[in-house]
Every structure is written in structure tokens, then in C-alpha cells.
Amino acid sequence: EAGVTQFPSHSVIEKGQTVTLRCDPISGHDNLYWYRRVMGKEIKFLLHFVKESKQDESGMPNNRFLAERTGGTYSTLKVQPAELEDSGVYFCASSQGTSGRTGQYFGPGTRLTVT
């Protein structure tokens, strides 16, 4: 079974540019999450999809971040325009359960550097 995949693995962009990150969850997993880890700090929740619907987007830092999951399969996270403080590793995770009491499987992450 393929795990969670993310693309790209690394992205270096200039302040003000746009970047789109992609996540492909494990097939059949309805729940998809985005997290961000800034160097040396905790993994911070951004948002949660259940199929194509946003269940909780309380962690999104501001309106420069837009997440979509059309069709309930893969998801994209767009940052526009990027700022220096957006640098970090963006993780995607997916899970199968609906009760909230199951493990989440992480992708390898996308390391975003904004210069």
C-alpha cells in the first residue's frame, strides 16, 4: 500500500511569489490534514479535510493560505504571496477513522524556504 506522498520535496521561492504544495493521501482515507513545522518548534495544525469538506481550518495563519481538496482525493495548499515567516516544513497526514481515535500517517513533508 502506498503511503502519503507530497510534492515537491523542497521549494525555494522569493518573498511575494506563489507556491502550491500537493498532498496525495493514502487511498481510501477520508481524513486529510495539513501541518507546519517551523525549525525547532512544534508541529502545528493548519487544517483538516473530511473528503472534500473543510472540517476545521482554525490553524490557517491568514488569508494568504488556501487549501483545496476537490473530489476528496489529493489536496493542494497554496501560499500567495509568500512571506519570510512562511518558511518551514509542511506535512500532510491522512487517516481512515471517523471517530478521531486513530493514528495519522504522515507524508515526507515539503521544505519551503522563502527568501
Residues contributing to the site for another protein (CB under 8 A): 4, 31, 33, 35, 41-45, 48, 50, 55-56, 58, 91, 95, 97-109
Residue (56 or 83) nearer to another protein, CB: 56
Report in angstroms how near the CB of residue 78 gets to another protein at its nearest.
22
Do 104 and 20 contact (CB within 8 A), yes or no? no
**The three cell numbers locating residue 24:** 496525495
Q: Cα 34 from chain centroid?
A: 3
Coil/strand/helix, residue 104:
coil
Residue (17 or 44) nearer to another protein, CB: 44
The rounded distance, in Å, linking the Cα atoms of 20 and 6 is 11
Q: Which uninterrupted H or E stretch holds 6?
A: strand 5-7
Report in angstroms how near the CB of residue 16 gets to another protein at its nearest.
29
Report in angstroms how near the CB of residue 12 gets to another protein at its nearest.
17
Report in angstroms how near the CB of residue 10 gets to another protein at its nearest.
11
User: Of the candidates 59, 42, 36, which has an alpha carbon nearest to the alpha carbon of residue 107?
Assistant: 36
Residue (73 or 96) nearer to another protein, CB: 96
Residue (80 or 102) nearer to another protein, CB: 102
